[in-house]
Structure formats: structure tokens, C-alpha cells
């Protein structure tokens, strides 16, 4: 079997990216971390 | 915002759910301070439990694990305010954050994982488990499925959650029903 052509690989990648929820594609600012224990 | 559950606060190496040692069950939140402040997170924390109640065990204790001096000041300030408002001694502690250990995959996004078609859709988005756990969309949907949030909040963001049309409708119906 021949290797996929570059544009085919590219469009496959584009399809994968499109499946990621838009809210997860937003670029966040500098994130801080908070940690809590809630029994 | 990204969320994950795990174990922290103890000294035992590599804790697991069945071998927790002296650690407590913990939630870790990565947040953008431009969009939500640490004080707002503290408000939710204090509103989510009764700080006058002593913990049943180390596993289930209530605590704020602070990551820096600024967080310590804010946490102590809100703790004092709560103590004054309640007129009682508080058992909830403010402690320095130590190492955080991620809980096993089956504890993460628990309600989402238990909701078959939602779980299947997110597994398609994120074949790698760590990516699913760190997904903001997964955190939001998990919260809605667990009874949090309003239909107004859902309508505001539903297009950004990336759900199929049928699951969007299903989530709408679920959130509307409990009003």
C-alpha cells in the first residue's frame, strides 16, 4: 500500500481538529491552579 | 478551565484509590484568572460544604491547598469571614499544596463516563484519556449531567461544547427538566 499523499494526510488532520469541541480550541491565557479537598 | 480529580495532602508515595495512605480526595482546577478569579472559586468552595463539620476521615477531609502566598492570603481571609458569619469554629483547613496525584481514569468525569452516548462521543473526540480528562467541554458536560448549571448557561455555550445535534437536544432536555 502506498503512503498517503501530503494533502490527504493534511485533510485527515483537519478533520481530526474539526472534531475537537470549539471551547477546547480556544487559546487560554496564562492559567493558574487551584486545589481543594471536599469531603 | 480544566478539572481533574486526584489525591493530595499526604506523604505516601504513588497513592491509588484502594491505597490512599494519608492523602485526601482532591479536585485540581486550572483556571484563567482573566475570566474567573480565585476568590470566585473560593466562594464556590465555601458554599459547597459545611466547614463546621469535622471530616469523617483523612480521605474525605475539607481543605484549601494553596499554591502561593497570594492564594494563602485570600483563603485565610475568606476562612475568617466564614467563621465570623457562622459564629463557629471551623474544621476546614488551609494547607500548602504538595504533590497532586491524578486519580485513576474511571474516577475522572464520572457522570460523563456513566452516560453512554455522551461518553462515546467524547471518546471519539479524544481517543487519548488524558486529553478527555483535560477537556473543558468534558468538564462542562459532566457538570450539567451531574445537576449543575442552568438552561440559560447551557444555551449560552452549547454551540461551543461540540456535541452532535442529538446529544445537544438530549442535554437541553435534561437540564430543562430539573428546573
The ipTM of this complex is: 0.92
Q: What is the pTM of this model?
A: 0.87
pLDDT at residue A1 in the model: 43
**Does B38 contact A32 at a Cβ distance shorter than 8 Å?**
yes
Nearest of B123, B120, B178 to residue B145 by alpha carbon: B178
Query: Which residue in A15, A17, A26, A35 has the most chain B C-beta atoms within 10 A of its own C-beta, making it the best mutation to test that interface?
Result: A35
Distance, in Å, from the CA atom of A22 to the CA atom of B176, rounded to the nearest integer, reads: 23
What is the radius of gyration, based on Cα positions, of chain A? 18
Each residue's pLDDT tens digit in chain B (179 positions)?
999 999 999 999 999 999 999 999 999 999 999 999 999 999 999 999 999 999 889 999 999 999 999 999 999 999 999 999 999 999 999 999 999 999 999 999 999 999 999 999 999 999 999 999 999 999 999 999 999 999 999 999 999 999 999 999 999 999 999 86
Closest by Cβ to B45, choosing from A23, A29, A36: A36
Residue B59: exposure state from Cβ atoms within 10 A (0-12, 13-18, ≥19): middle
Residue B163: exposure state from Cβ atoms within 10 A (0-12, 13-18, ≥19): buried
Closest by Cβ to A37, choosing from B30, B63, B140: B63
- Residue B43 in 3-state DSSP? helix
Chain B contacts of A19, Cβ < 8 Å? 124-125, 162
**Does A30 contact B135 at a Cβ distance shorter than 8 Å?**
no
Each residue's pLDDT tens digit in chain A (39 positions)?
445 555 555 666 555 556 899 999 988 788 999 999 998
Distance, in Å, from the CA atom of B135 to the CA atom of B73, rounded to the nearest integer, reads: 30
Closest by Cβ to B161, choosing from A21, A26, A33: A21
Q: Does A2 touch chain B (CB under 8 A)?
A: no
**Does A19 contact B162 at a Cβ distance shorter than 8 Å?**
yes
- Between chain A and chain B, the number of residue pairs with CB atoms below 8 A apart is 105
Torsion, Cα B22 B24 B28 B33, to 10 degrees, reads -100
Amino acid at each position: 500500500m502506498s503512503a498517503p499523499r501530503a494533502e490527504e494526510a493534511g485533510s485527515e488532520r483537519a478533520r481530526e481538529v474539526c472534531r475537537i469541541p470549539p471551547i477546547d480550541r480556544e487559546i487560554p491565557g496564562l492559567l493558574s491552579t487551584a486545589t481543594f479537598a471536599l469531603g | 478551565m480544566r478539572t481533574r480529580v486526584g489525591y493530595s495532602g499526604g506523604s505516601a508515595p504513588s497513592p491509588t484509590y484502594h491505597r490512599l495512605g494519608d492523602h485526601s480526595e482532591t479536585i485540581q482546577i486550572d483556571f484563567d484568572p482573566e475570566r474567573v478569579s480565585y476568590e470566585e472559586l473560593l466562594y464556590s468552595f465555601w458554599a459547597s460544604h459545611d466547614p463546621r463539620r469535622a471530616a469523617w476521615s483523612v480521605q474525605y477531609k475539607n481543605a484549601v491547598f494553596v499554591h502561593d502566598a497570594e492564594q494563602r492570603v485570600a483563603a485565610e481571609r475568606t476562612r475568617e469571614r466564614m467563621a465570623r458569619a457562622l459564629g463557629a469554629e471551623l474544621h476546614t483547613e488551609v494547607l500548602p499544596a504538595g504533590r497532586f496525584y491524578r486519580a485513576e481514569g474511571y474516577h475522572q468525569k464520572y457522570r460523563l463516563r456513566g452516560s453512554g452516548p455522551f461518553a462515546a462521543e467524547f471518546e471519539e473526540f479524544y481517543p487519548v484519556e488524558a486529553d478527555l480528562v483535560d477537556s473543558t467541554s468534558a468538564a462542562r458536560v459532566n457538570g450539567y449531567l451531574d445537576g449543575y448549571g442552568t438552561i440559560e448557561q447551557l444555551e449560552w455555550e452549547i454551540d461551543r461544547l461540540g456535541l452532535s445535534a442529538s446529544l445537544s437536544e438530549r442535554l437541553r432536555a435534561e437540564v430543562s427538566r430539573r428546573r
